Amino acid sequence: MKRTAKGILQNLFRYKYNSILIRNFCLTMVMVMAPLLVVIVIVRINLDTIVQKEISEANRGSLVVVAETLDMVIDKMFSFSYYLTENAEFGKLQVYGLEEVFDEYSEILEEQIYFNMLIEEYIDSVYIYMQDEEIVLSADRKQRIINKYTLSEMGDMTWKLGYDHLNVDKSYMLYPRLKRNFYPYLMTMIRPMSNIEKNRNGAVIVNVDMKKLSEYLGLKSRNGLRFYMMGQDGKLIYSNQVTLFENGAVMPEYLDILWTEEADGKIREIDGENYVVSVVDSENYDCRYVLCTPYADSENRLNEVSYFIGHIIVITFLLGLVVTYVMTVYSFSPIQRIINELDKGKQEEEQGDESFLFDENGAGNELQYIIGMVRQARLHNNKLISETENWVKKLNDAQMIALQSQINPHYLYNTLDMINWDAARQLGSGNSVSQMITTLAQFLRIGLSRGSYLVGIAEEMEHAKLYTRIIEARYEGTIRVKWDIDEEILLYKIVRLTLQPLIENAINHGLKPKRYQGNIVIRGGVVEDFLYLVVEDDGIGMSNEQCVVLNHELMENYEDKNEHIGIRNVNQRIKILFGEEYGISLRAKAEGGLIVRVITPKLK
């Protein structure tokens, strides 16, 4: 080593700038460091454009999702208001007058309105304005009844201004306002209705709580995000910045700029801060959506990247100097060793000693070792590739199943809607076929929803009642269902799809042999620290011995390999979630029939 270092120094002093060491050092710096520095500078110059483009694309993607969801919300509001006025019961109201059929119509309103309020938490209230009688039917989320007010008694009247200015040619109006000029902030849909002579004589007013709508759209939890929904005239209809709708508030001038399509994909200043703006038009309604994402975080990151790149340039240059010097020295070292070995060989050759030509520890052994390691690594790599392909295939299969499970319910809902519209067109609105299809669609929408596996007992009961309503209509009253549920139990939650499979089991295995005739009683209540639900029928039942065997299976061997939902499936899900002490038990009735009892913990 000393001789090598000495030889390098001798060459440096002898050749100076013509030395291989110096030339290699300079060439390496030029070939490695110069391109690296050029790349770093180019990357920094284009970083702003790249980041802005990526943020703009991501922002637009988020806006498209929000726009589609908000269009769906407006669709629901429009369909809901349409149903309230285009049914047979409302026709009776127009013919006989409000006083004659109010009680009957109010029950239908309560059922439909509060069912929709239960599903759509952003709905604040629903009003039906009867212009000729100057009466308002009011349904509020805080109350469980339909109230009847005169215009002078109605506390919330800010919707009336929108109704009075509604163009006679328009089928609806979206109108922002404050409830009772105070709170909450509402987006109101006013849909006019006509009397028998086709003259406008009132409207359905659906009020949506803007703050709850922002939560539903996922906008409230995203800090700094600004969303605006504007009409084609540029007026603001909805925003997650609800303070814009305060009494007497003047709309900021930047809304006029954001409303234009030229703002799409650009960075605009709003209240002293830069935002990335995306603009899309609604596919179904005369409105435009604007989403503004703060650019400050990206600017801070760019500044941090700039500082980081500056440090990297300095550090890279210094490291490049050291590495280049070390590489050059070591690349020159073999040359010096070769020269020394040549000199040594020449001296030994002159002495007649050829032993220097052989090396017992030569490179051959290391080469064979490296070749063996390469072969071993290749075999191991092939094995890993095979295993990876197998896992990818399984993952693709699982993804296809998941995608199919998403497509099937969506396709089913659309098909039911098409059948419903066709039945209404051919048979008239309010026919039994449309009602049955509507009930089935509501039943499937709740049952196939992708929410939590725990639901409120009220929602579970509503789902089961939709099913029993279909069954009672199908068998024309031969199967009768009675509900005896303690109101205290409604405060708690239960495993999704618990009641409906048990009711279906009672019908198929209990009442089917009796030609689908009989009674089903559903009871529920709270006992100490657990809840109980009972489904009792007066069908053919089963023997005590059969009950003992089935109860043993439900207790000991409850894993159900069957894909169909039934008693075993419900029992298995309850035990998996809550433990062995909970689940389902059966008891035969002496007079015929079966009692199925479900025990679950008290969960809110």
Per-residue model confidence (pLDDT) at position 580: 86
| Pairwise pLDDT comparison (580 vs 431), residue with the higher score | 580
Per-residue model confidence (pLDDT) at position 55: 82
| Pairwise pLDDT comparison (384 vs 460), residue with the higher score | 460
Of the pLDDT bands very low, low, confident and very high (cuts 50, 70, 90), residue 325 is: low
184 preceded by a cis bond (ω within 30 of 0): yes
Per-residue model confidence (pLDDT) at position 101: 63
| Pairwise pLDDT comparison (257 vs 345), residue with the higher score | 257
Mean pLDDT computed over 348-375: 44
| Pairwise pLDDT comparison (577 vs 306), residue with the higher score | 577
Looking at 225-239, 336-350, 454-468, 563-577, which range is the least confident one?
336-350
Per-residue model confidence (pLDDT) at position 401: 43
Of the pLDDT bands very low, low, confident and very high (cuts 50, 70, 90), residue 597 is: very high
Which residues 6+ apart lie within 8 Å of 302 measured at CB? 47, 48, 51
Q: Is 237 helix (H, G, I), strand (E, B) or coil?
A: strand
Q: Are strands 518-527 and 479-485 parallel, antiparallel or unpaired?
A: parallel
Per-residue model confidence (pLDDT) at position 1: 46
**Cβ atoms of 217 and 70 closer than 8 Å:** yes
What number of other Cβ atoms are within 10 A of residue 334's Cβ?
A: 11
**Most confident of the ranges 105-119, 214-228, 271-285, 420-434:** 271-285
Mean pLDDT computed over 237-258: 80
Q: What is the mean pLDDT of the chain?
A: 76
Long-range contacts (CB closer than 8 Å, 24 or more residues apart) made by 64-70? 64/280, 66/217, 66/218, 66/219, 66/227, 66/289, 66/291, 67/280, 67/282, 67/289, 69/216, 69/217, 70/217, 70/229, 70/238, 70/282, 70/289
Which residues 6+ apart lie within 8 Å of 273 measured at CB? 294, 295, 296
**The CATH homologous superfamily of the domain defined by 86-213:** PAS domain (3.30.450.20)
Quick one: tokens of 206? 């659906």
Looking at 38-42, 388-392, 524-528, 533-537, which range is the least confident one?
388-392
Looking at 51-55, 65-69, 546-550, 600-604, which range is the least confident one?
51-55
Of the pLDDT bands very low, low, confident and very high (cuts 50, 70, 90), residue 98 is: low
Per-residue model confidence (pLDDT) at position 547: 93
Per-residue model confidence (pLDDT) at position 424: 62
**Most confident of the ranges 3-12, 209-218, 258-267, 527-536:** 527-536
Per-residue model confidence (pLDDT) at position 358: 37
Looking at 134-143, 262-271, 320-329, which range is the least confident one?
320-329
Asked whether residue 489 carries a pLDDT value surpassing 90, the answer given is yes
Q: What separation in angstroms does the CA of 594 have from each of 211, 251, 469, 545, 572? A: 49, 66, 22, 13, 20
Which residues 6+ apart lie within 8 Å of 262 measured at CB? none
Per-residue model confidence (pLDDT) at position 355: 40
| Pairwise pLDDT comparison (560 vs 118), residue with the higher score | 118
**Quick one: DSSP state of residue 478?**
S
Gap between the Cα atoms of 511 and 523, Å rounded: 18
**Most confident of the ranges 256-265, 273-282, 368-377, 433-442:** 273-282
| Pairwise pLDDT comparison (475 vs 532), residue with the higher score | 532
Per-residue model confidence (pLDDT) at position 193: 82
**Which strand (E) or helix (H) includes residue 15?**
helix 2-15
Mean pLDDT computed over 6-31: 61
**Cβ atoms of 146 and 139 closer than 8 Å:** yes
Mean pLDDT computed over 57-61: 88
Gap between the Cα atoms of 541 and 535, Å rounded: 12
In the chain, the N- to C-terminal Cα span, in Å, equals: 79
Instruction: Give the domain ranges of the chain.
Output: 86-213, 363-431, 451-601
Per-residue model confidence (pLDDT) at position 422: 59
Radius of gyration of the chain (CA): 39
**Predicted model pTM:** 0.46
Mean pLDDT computed over 479-485: 93
**Cβ atoms of 494 and 454 closer than 8 Å:** yes
Per-residue model confidence (pLDDT) at position 583: 93
Instruction: Please give the share of the chain, as a percent, with pLDDT higher than 70.
Output: 68
**Most confident of the ranges 90-104, 131-145, 336-350:** 131-145
Per-residue model confidence (pLDDT) at position 483: 94
Side-by-side strand order, sheet with 236-239: 236-239, 226-231, 287-294, 273-281, 267-270
Per-residue model confidence (pLDDT) at position 442: 65
Q: Which fold has domain 451-601?
A: Heat Shock Protein 90 (3.30.565)
**Cβ atoms of 598 and 570 closer than 8 Å:** yes
